[in-house]
Amino acid sequence: MFKKVLIANRGEIAVRVIRTLREMGISSVAVYSEADRSSLHVRLADEAVCIGPAMARESYLDIPAVISAAKLTGSDAIHPGYGFLSENADFSAACRDNGITFIGPSPKSIQQLGHKAEARKMAMKAGVPVTPGTKDCVGKNFKTEAEKIGFPLMIKAAAGGGGKGIRIVREMAQLEHEITMARAEAKAGFGNDEVYFERYIELPRHIEVQFARDTKGHTLAFPERDCSIQRRHQKLVEETPSPAVGKKLREKLEEAAVKLANAANYVGVGTVEFLLDQQGNFYFMEVNTRLQVEHPVTEYITGFDLVREQLLAAAGDSLSYTASHSVPYRGHAIEHRVNAEDFTRNFAPSVGRVEEWTLPGGPGVRVDTHVYAGYSLPIYYDSMLAKLIVWDQTRELAVAKSARALKEFTVKGIKTTIDAHQMIVEDERFRAGKTDTGFMERLLNPAEPAKVA
């Protein structure tokens, strides 16, 4: 096992990784930008190295700076967290070439599965259902390709993730402008402006399957997560298991995830994302070759520490459970992403100093965060402040626990999305498990028709 691990990230995920490292007796190294000197992950790590100015491209996205920090501190492995360099094949290769273990898949696996268009090809070859779309990234004949697929269609960044570089197009007149916009966003976010087309499925559920695979070829598939409650393709609430998925469908979803992981000879933890239509058909969407933001709900119902599983796989050890491909679970878990945003002003960012920070507690309540009273939010990064995760024996009890915990969560000095989450858990459609990717739009615009899955 590793002696010292550098975390190439910031915020709550860096804090999350440090805690597992400490439990496993592994020294931790934090990296930080000049804007993050007072961040909690810097305080908690055994060592900390400043790697550059506030802008991410000059710090957290600077591969030579991160590698230099690892060498300077004698780190034998790097954990990338999520976002930033976590799905960057060049970074994985740079770690390998410098004798440092990348705690994630190989450069080849990232290229195969992290590149969305290539992952579609692999899914089709493995017999996993996919939505109609372009076989390769779109070129000069994009209008012809769009006509073959039909409208509405979705433009997606080939190297993207996290909801960035996505545009929905309902008619040909919009196509050229939206491609230009999608390419610009993809270039800015991922350094790659390639895009591809998929047929847009109206009002689907967003379902994903967490998997883990070790160097010995054993693959685990965890119960599905339902991530349908989103705004602008960014997830707000995730839960597991999905109220729309039964035993037989769950087995099919898990089988598809295992097929893809094995086809890519994947080592580490990843997630296969699917769309589930209103008729119960599922379609492959993409693979995230990293730890997901919403991984705690899976940990709650299964008892696994997914960061620990990442470390075991990267070190060449067996996963902690090898009895079968399917992982047993118990109860129901829900995660609420609390962001520094004013949802009454179209989720406009909120910045400033956190004057009060009182977290909820009690049985079955977990909060993952890097924030504390007196912390000043940097303006340069993602707006997420914390993840509130609850567990109980049934979905009904878990929803009630969410409502109670959200009322206890007190933040002063900045605007947050806590009130928006309270609206969600009080909504009858959510309580009945009748949600889809259009849920938030209808919740915030009640005059619109109340379509549900």
Q: Which residue numbers are catalytic? A: 290
Q: Are 42 and 35 in contact (CB under 8 A)?
A: no
Q: CA-CA distance, 178 to 352, in Å (whole number)?
A: 34
**Which one-letter amino acid corresponds to residue 185?**
E
Q: CA-CA distance, 279 to 187, in Å (whole number)?
A: 36
The pairing of strands 4-7 and 77-79 is: parallel
**Which one-letter amino acid corresponds to residue 347?**
F
Q: CA-CA distance, 293 to 447, in Å (whole number)?
A: 32
For the four alpha carbons of 344, 347, 353 and 356, in that order, the dihedral sign comes to: positive
In this structure, what DSSP letter does residue 151 have? Answer: S
User: Which helix (H) or strand (E) is 50 found in, with range?
Assistant: strand 47-52
Who's near 353: CB < 8 A, 6+ residues apart? 374, 375, 376, 377, 413, 414
Q: CA-CA distance, 207 to 240, in Å (whole number)?
A: 10
Q: Are 195 and 158 in contact (CB under 8 A)?
A: yes
3-state percent breakdown (helix, strand, coil) of the chain, nearest 5: 35, 25, 40
Q: CA-CA distance, 88 to 55, in Å (whole number)?
A: 18
What is the chain's alpha carbon radius of gyration, rounded to the nearest angstrom? 21
For the four alpha carbons of 14, 16, 19 and 24, in that order, the dihedral sign comes to: negative
Cα–Cα distance list, 371 to 220, 338, 347 (Å): 33, 11, 20
Q: CA-CA distance, 246 to 322, in Å (whole number)?
A: 24
b vs e for 6-28, b when ≥16 Cβ sit within 10 Å of the residue's Cβ?
Answer: bbbbbbbbbbbbbebbeeeebbb
CA neighbor of 258 nearest in space, from 268, 244, 272, 246: 272
